[in-house]
Amino acid sequence: MRQRIRSAGRWTWIGGLMIALVVAGCASPAGDAITVRVDYSHDEFNTQFIQYFPDQIQVHPGDTVRFVQDWTGEAHTVTFGTAVREALETNRPLIEQYGHLPEDQVPPEIFEQFLEAECTLPVLFSECEGPPSESEAAGEAEAAGTEPEEAFPPIDQSIAQPCLIEEGAIPTDGGPCPNQELGAFDGTEAFYNSGFIGFETDRENVFNLEVSESIVPGVYPFFCAVHGSFQNGVMEVVPADQPIASPNEVNEQTREELNEVVEPFRQVFAQAQGGEIVMGGEAFSGNFSGLVDEQVQGLLNEFVPETITTEVNEPVTWLMFGPHSISFDVPEYFPIYDVQEDGSVTANDEIFAPAGGAPEIEEPEDPTQPLVIDGGSWDGSGFWSSGVLFSDAYVQYTLRFSTPGTYRYACLIHPPMVGTIEVSG
Ligand SMILES: [Cu+2]
């Protein structure tokens, strides 16, 4: 399934995806390394942010930068290289200037300029036509009928796994990169990709970037090859004899930036707990499955209220903002992605499809219209899932329960996102 997801009113692409993979721990944390946070889950409510915090850092040659990712269900990479540099240098200022606007308010020539650059970037689920970033293997497999129509496209292994291309083009065959030993980053590499930062803990998933002693001072942009140039940052290498911000000062800046992006979510969360939110001038009330805010490049991943009480065969309706599923009796181990013994990263197609008798998802012809689905009834036993649903507007999903009981449910692409239904007879 390929989704164009306009998150929180921004013209970006967020492959609504999640990864549950375990990789061996990286090198031990460098003592005085600068830390960049990748994504962020707030401690008062679960969130995800398709951003780096901070998105501008200064380092010295020979430094190590710790990229530390919170586990929100989303996969991210840290990707540098001369092959991606130009596109990032074009798009970063465009995003800074226009990124907060809804797509239809961005001047068409700007949008075109953005797309042209974006389409030269290797991005996991690109919507650009043809190479380089589209996995050609996906199209071929579909054409040959070897993949079910709704299956997740194959994962491009040169994005999912570490990849170093010293010179020349980035592979587009979907296979693993011949060289996965990154070594220190010297700034001359064509493609220098961390691969998916693997799951270790909720808070401490680390990619250590070693900056080479021999790197030429200057500006090195980077981005996430899962989410495209909207998730970007810049590392400035400063000569060793010039001062830069200390790791503590960087952390303080990070904290400030996080507080800033969380604040609008705090407000919409409080509204939802009160039973009503206002989005784009429209009021919505009821049960919420995920929340967004127009100002924020991110998602608030909570079911609100956390517990819903209902009666047998009474309809329960959720309003869903952002991509989510409503899933009962979830198998204990149900990763979105898995790492195979040979290191290849594979997707679990079952995550995205309806299960247990839930209706097939028909995407609306006009993606700006809400997606309204009657999920029927669940009898309280066996894995049941709405499938992962998304609409640019919102999804309205209704389900009934034919058996009294207390049921836990979850969103399959956002691991911390869980709720309870109490059904009385
Ligand atoms: Cu979710």
Locus of tokens 């930068």: 65
- The CB density around residue 188, as the number of other CB atoms within 10 Å, is 14
Residue 178 scores a pLDDT above 80: yes
pLDDT, residue 38, reads 95
Instruction: Kindly state whether residues 250 and 281 are assigned to the same domain.
Output: no
Instruction: Kindly state whether residues 188 and 80 are assigned to the same domain.
Output: yes
Distance 279 CA to ligand 1 centre (A): 19
Domain boundary residue, one of 259, 284, 305: 259
- Give the chain's domain count: 2
pLDDT, residue 415, reads 86
Pull the structure tokens for residue 41. 């889950």
Distance 5 CA to ligand 1 centre (A): 13
pTM: 0.85
CATH of residue 151's domain is 2.60.40.420
Closest CA to 105 of 241, 9, 198, 227: 9
Instruction: Kindly state whether residues 209 and 274 are assigned to the same domain.
Output: no
pLDDT, residue 99, reads 85
pLDDT, residue 132, reads 39
pLDDT, residue 330, reads 92
In a domain? residue 8: no
Rounded-to-integer distance, Cα 60 and Cα 246, Å: 11
In a domain? residue 195: yes
Residues 162/139, Cβ–Cβ less than 8 Å: no
Pull the structure tokens for residue 411. 């969103």
Establish how many alpha carbons lie within 13 A of residue 57's alpha carbon, considering only the half-sphere containing its beta carbon.
31
R_g of the chain computed on alpha carbons: 22
pLDDT, residue 334, reads 80
Residue 21 scores a pLDDT above 60: no
Q: Above pLDDT 70, what percent of the chain?
A: 87
Distance 168 CA to ligand 1 centre (A): 39
Instruction: Kindly state whether residues 275 and 364 are assigned to the same domain.
Output: yes
Pull the structure tokens for residue 62. 């020979």
Query: What number is the average pLDDT over the span 272-288?
Result: 92
Query: What number is the average pLDDT over the span 8-33?
Result: 42
Locus of tokens 């979830």: 330
- The CB density around residue 32, as the number of other CB atoms within 10 Å, is 10
Residue 183 scores a pLDDT above 70: yes
Instruction: Kindly state whether residues 332 and 250 are assigned to the same domain.
Output: no
Q: Above pLDDT 90, what percent of the chain?
A: 66
Instruction: Kindly state whether residues 92 and 225 are assigned to the same domain.
Output: yes
Distance 167 CA to ligand 1 centre (A): 39
Query: What number is the average pLDDT over the span 379-397?
Result: 93
Pull the structure tokens for residue 158. 């040169």
In a domain? residue 14: no
User: Which of 309 and 105 is assigned the larger pLDDT?
Assistant: 309
Residue 155 scores a pLDDT above 50: yes
In a domain? residue 396: yes
Distance 42 CA to ligand 1 centre (A): 15
Distance 119 CA to ligand 1 centre (A): 28
User: Which of 136 and 360 is assigned the larger pLDDT?
Assistant: 360
Residue 23 scores a pLDDT above 70: no
pLDDT, residue 24, reads 35
In a domain? residue 29: no
Alpha helices, DSSP H, located in 78-201? 82-98, 108-118, 136-143, 157-160
- The CB density around residue 60, as the number of other CB atoms within 10 Å, is 18
Instruction: Kindly state whether residues 248 and 293 are assigned to the same domain.
Output: no
Instruction: Kindly state whether residues 302 and 397 are assigned to the same domain.
Output: yes
CA-CA-CA-CA dihedral for 387, 389, 395, 401, to nearest 10: 10
In a domain? residue 377: yes
Distance 145 CA to ligand 1 centre (A): 30
Distance 299 CA to ligand 1 centre (A): 9
Distance 391 CA to ligand 1 centre (A): 13
In a domain? residue 10: no
Domain boundary residue, one of 243, 259, 275: 259
Distance 301 CA to ligand 1 centre (A): 5
Pull the structure tokens for residue 198. 């693997």
Pull the structure tokens for residue 376. 């029927």
Question: What tens digit of pLDDT does each residue of 207-264 get?
Answer: 999 999 999 999 999 999 999 999 999 999 999 999 999 999 999 999 999 999 999 9
Rounded-to-integer distance, Cα 150 and Cα 3, Å: 11
Amino acid at 112: E
Read off the DSSP letter of residue 197. Answer: P
Of 15-29, 165-179, 228-242, 288-302, the one with minimum mean pLDDT is 15-29
User: What is the pairing mode between strands 287-291 and 418-424?
Assistant: unpaired
Domain boundary residue, one of 214, 232, 259: 259
Establish how many alpha carbons lie within 13 A of residue 35's alpha carbon, considering only the half-sphere containing its beta carbon.
21
Tell me what the pLDDT averaged over the chain comes to. Answer: 86
Boundaries of domain holding 164: 34-259
- Burial grade of 382 (CB within 10 A; 0-12, 13-18, 19 or more): exposed
Distance 383 CA to ligand 1 centre (A): 17
pLDDT, residue 1, reads 25
Instruction: Kindly state whether residues 67 and 185 are assigned to the same domain.
Output: yes
pLDDT, residue 291, reads 94
DSSP string, 23-66: ----SPPPTT-EEEEES---SSS-EEESSEESSEEEE-TT-EEE
pLDDT, residue 152, reads 66
Question: What tens digit of pLDDT does each residue of 47-80 get?
Answer: 999 999 999 999 999 999 999 998 888 899 999 9
Rounded-to-integer distance, Cα 99 and Cα 91, Å: 10
Instruction: Kindly state whether residues 241 and 103 are assigned to the same domain.
Output: yes
Instruction: Kindly state whether residues 255 and 274 are assigned to the same domain.
Output: no
In a domain? residue 371: yes
Instruction: Kindly state whether residues 251 and 344 are assigned to the same domain.
Output: no
Query: What number is the average pLDDT over the span 151-180?
Result: 89
CA 288 to each of CA 152, 276, 389: distance values in angstroms, whole numbers, following the listed order: 26, 9, 14
Query: What number is the average pLDDT over the span 402-409?
Result: 97
Residue 32 scores a pLDDT above 50: yes
Contacts of the segment 146-155: beta carbons below 8 A, 24+ positions apart: 148/349, 150/1, 150/349, 150/352, 150/353, 151/1, 151/349, 152/1, 152/347, 152/348, 152/349, 152/351, 152/352, 153/2, 153/125, 154/347, 155/124, 155/337, 155/344, 155/345, 155/346, 155/347
Residues 6 or more apart whose CB falls under 8 angstroms from that of 415 comprise 18, 20, 71, 73
pLDDT band at 201 (very low <50, low <70, confident <90, very high): confident
Spell out the SS3 assignment of 132-157: CCCCHHHHHHHHCCCCCCCCCCCCCH
